[in-house]
Amino acid sequence: MAETEQLLVPLEQYLAAGIHIGTKFRTKDMEPFIYKINPNGLSILNVQKIDERLRIAAKMLSKYEPQDILIVCRRENGWQAVKNFAKATGVKFYAGRYPAGVITNTNLDTYFEPKVIFVVDPWPDKNAVSDALKTGVPIIALCDSNNTTNDLDFIIPCNNKGTKSIGLIFWILANGYLRERGTLPKGKEIEIPLVDFVGE
């Protein structure tokens, strides 16, 4: 199949990470990204669309300096991926509880002004989404079949609950971000291996 040759990683690698396995619950917002419903009632997301959007997200993020990007992940199964992404790229991150007011309250010692916020799941990360909306900071989000997307600027459809899926996404984005910024030569990969992102 010619089109799979153009994917960022081999199709088998996407499938093995379960990047395309959604939930039984589907929102209207996510319908355009659902390829089919499997016999167990799970939504199967379109891998081609996931891949396309990962490519676009890397380009979008590459327009920002690392210190202007904030990644937020409340859910524990994404912490390792987010920490390694930050280690590879130098971006700011919160893995765990997002501290209220960190981008809205100028009196806080920890206050800073990101230019873009990336959330792993807009539902558990809703406080960060809310702060970004208040401050007009664009929001990029990983969205599963059960997410609503009305407050988000750009979404990457995917399984945003599985450790392997989140790990693969952030490994791809770390490589893409650094390549787009010209700090990682074409054909080379970041020094942190994929296995450190997926936590095997």
Would you place residue 1 in the very low, low, confident or very high pLDDT band (cuts 50, 70, 90)? very low
The pLDDT, as a whole number, for residue 100 is: 87
Name the packing angle between helices 79-89 and 163-180 (round to 10°).
10
Instruction: Read off the pLDDT of residues 72-114 as tens digits, 9 standing for 90 and up.
Output: 999 999 999 999 999 999 999 999 999 989 999 999 999 999 9
Query: What is the C-alpha to C-alpha distance for residues 23 and 38, in angstroms, rounded to an integer?
Result: 10
Query: What is the C-alpha to C-alpha distance for residues 69 and 140, in angstroms, rounded to an integer?
Result: 10
Q: Find tokens 């996407």 and name the residue.
A: 14
Tokens of 162: 């599985």
Query: What is the C-alpha to C-alpha distance for residues 75 and 101, in angstroms, rounded to an integer?
Result: 20
Q: Which of 116, 128, 111 is nearest to 69 (CA)?
A: 116
| The model's pTM | 0.95
Domains and CATH numbers, the chain: 2-181 (3.40.50.10490)
Tokens of 146: 């059960």
Instruction: Read off the pLDDT of residues 157-181 as tens digits, 9 standing for 90 and up.
Output: 999 999 999 999 999 999 999 999 9
In the predicted structure, residue 4 carries a pLDDT above the cut 60: no
The pLDDT, as a whole number, for residue 6 is: 86
Average model confidence (pLDDT) across the chain:
95
